[in-house]
Amino acid sequence: MSRQERPATAEREGSMNQSIHANHHSPEPGFALRQTLYRGWAALAKPVYRTLPIATPCVVSGEGALSQGVAELVKQGIRRPVVITDTAFVDLQVFQQLLQALEAAALEYSVFSEIVPDPDFSIIERGIIHCRNHQFDGVIAIGGGSSIDATKVINPCARHNIDPRTVPGMLKLRKRGHYFMAIPTTAGTGSEATAAAVITDEHSHQKRVVISLTVVPELAVLDPSLMMGLPPAITAATGMDALTHAMESYLSRYATAKTDALNLESMARIFDHLPRAFHDGANDKEARRQMAIASHNAGVTFTRTSVGWVHAIAHQLGALYGVPHGLANAMVLPHVLAFYLPHAESRMAQMARHLGLHGSDDASLALALVEAVHKLCDQLEIRPLLTMVKEEDIPQMARNIINEAYRSPYPVPGYFGSYAELEAFIRGMMIPR
């Protein structure tokens, strides 16, 4: 559903920035001090993030990768794995392929299939009980990011009798679970490569982030044949999730030359292949393969660099209104990029040049990047308009967003000067451009 013809890019983004600054209020008491402390914390954390010994999984990829993955389980001596997946996935043919491979290898598996999008702690607790009852010695997560994230918490908590409600936060979970094989069937979250998991607190309805060096899977299986049947809307949302990871990672203050190279490569892959996967994903195996690689590499990079305002805002859309995470990121990304124009013009211009966009200087290239993301959303039939947000929710949303960004910390290139400025920004995302 394409939007109506838009005004010229410079006029549109200029008016957007004017709207943001026109609604700017003086910082609330204590806000400036809190922001100063946050910036200091983020600066101190920079060398830590850059040198943390974050493992990356071994990867098997291409057609037949599923069989290779099961063979590796046997090689590792796994006999009683638990397969963790979502409620709908068990009826799909790709899931039956996994079960057939496990049966052929004579593995005594059990299936826990209660995962739902944005799983909460009550589901995690049921998964822990299931694993213990099966006397498991390994886990296999198959499906989207929710299944993989849930497994990251279920696995070590079941093995070591840990209360999962105590592990959200930075490096609170220090014990490793059993051998962990992750099989993503969407090209978006990159969860198979990250040291983080997002779980919903069913009481507060807020997302809780678990960051731990021990939750990265030992093995990631990237098999494009498992992604061929992914519906176009999910293909679009998860693909934009991967683009968000690559772009926020590139704009992070923790970025390195290595993460920059991977992120630029991922962005180019996504712009080239996501529209192909969206329009002909049932037949275009090469597009699926390229998207799987891009998603995985973006997962590797943002584990090192963290993310930013897009994720902080998107988490509120998921927690309050049930918007799937990838779609929420897609809806927020172009707005946050526009917000970053005064703060990260040079970096955004570098991204634009790598994508083959045109402009006479850094300012025009950065604007072209924002417009390119809008056009990509058009191609994918995604409308970046937050019509679901209720006015009465905005003040608390703003506080939750700031709390998440400052607690993590998110090393963003630009900051909101007050809660009121962030509230005005949220309202701006509700207005058609």
Based on the number of CB atoms within 10 Å of its own CB, is 349 exposed (0-12), middle (13-18) or buried (19 or more)?
buried
Helices in 23-87 by DSSP H: which ranges? Answer: 31-51, 65-75
- For the residues 304-327, what does the mean pLDDT come to? 94
| pLDDT for the residue 55 | 82
Contact 206, 319 (CB under 8 A): yes
Digit-coded pLDDT (tens) for 339-356: 999 999 999 999 999 999
| pLDDT for the residue 397 | 97
Would 31-52+230-430 and 58-226 be classified into the same CATH topology? no
Residue 191 scores a pLDDT above 70: yes
User: In whole angstroms, what is the distance from residue 173 CA to residue 183 CA?
Assistant: 23
Residue 92 scores a pLDDT above 90: no
| pLDDT for the residue 60 | 94
Residue 112 scores a pLDDT above 80: yes
| pLDDT for the residue 63 | 83
- The CATH number of domain 31-52+230-430, selected from 1.20.1090.10, 3.40.50.10800, 3.40.50.2300, 3.90.1150.10: 1.20.1090.10
How far is Cα of residue 191 from the mean position of the Cα atoms in its chain? Answer: 7
Selection from 221-225, 266-270, 303-307 with the highest mean pLDDT: 266-270
| pLDDT for the residue 88 | 86
Residue 163 scores a pLDDT above 50: yes
- Closest C-alpha among 379, 155, 199 to residue 278: 379
User: In whole angstroms, what is the distance from residue 379 CA to residue 367 CA?
Assistant: 19
Q: Which tokens hold the place of 200?
A: 């919903």
- For the residues 137-141, what does the mean pLDDT come to? 98
Average pLDDT, the chain: 90
Digit-coded pLDDT (tens) for 198-254: 999 999 888 898 999 999 999 999 999 899 989 999 999 999 999 999 999 999 999
User: In whole angstroms, what is the distance from residue 161 CA to residue 332 CA?
Assistant: 38
Strand partners, 221: 60
Q: Element (H or E) spanning 370, and its range?
A: helix 362-379
User: In whole angstroms, what is the distance from residue 328 CA to residue 250 CA?
Assistant: 20
Query: By mean pLDDT, which of 10-14, 97-101, 203-207, 301-305 is the weakest?
Result: 10-14
Digit-coded pLDDT (tens) for 379-401: 999 999 999 999 999 999 999 99
| pLDDT for the residue 431 | 93
* Secondary structure E strands in 223-332: none
Residue 10 scores a pLDDT above 50: no
Q: How far is CA 120 from CA 47, 88, 113, 154, 176, in A?
A: 33, 17, 14, 12, 21
Residue 20 scores a pLDDT above 70: no
| pLDDT for the residue 4 | 34
Q: Which tokens hold the place of 302?
A: 């943002």
The CATH number assigned to the domain with range 58-226 reads 3.40.50.1970
| pLDDT for the residue 29 | 64
| pLDDT for the residue 206 | 83
- For the residues 50-65, what does the mean pLDDT come to? 85
**What are φ and ψ of residue 290, in 5° steps?**
-65, -35
Q: How far is CA 291 from CA 152, 196, 294, 369, in A?
A: 23, 21, 5, 20
Annotated domain spans of the chain: 31-52+230-430, 58-226
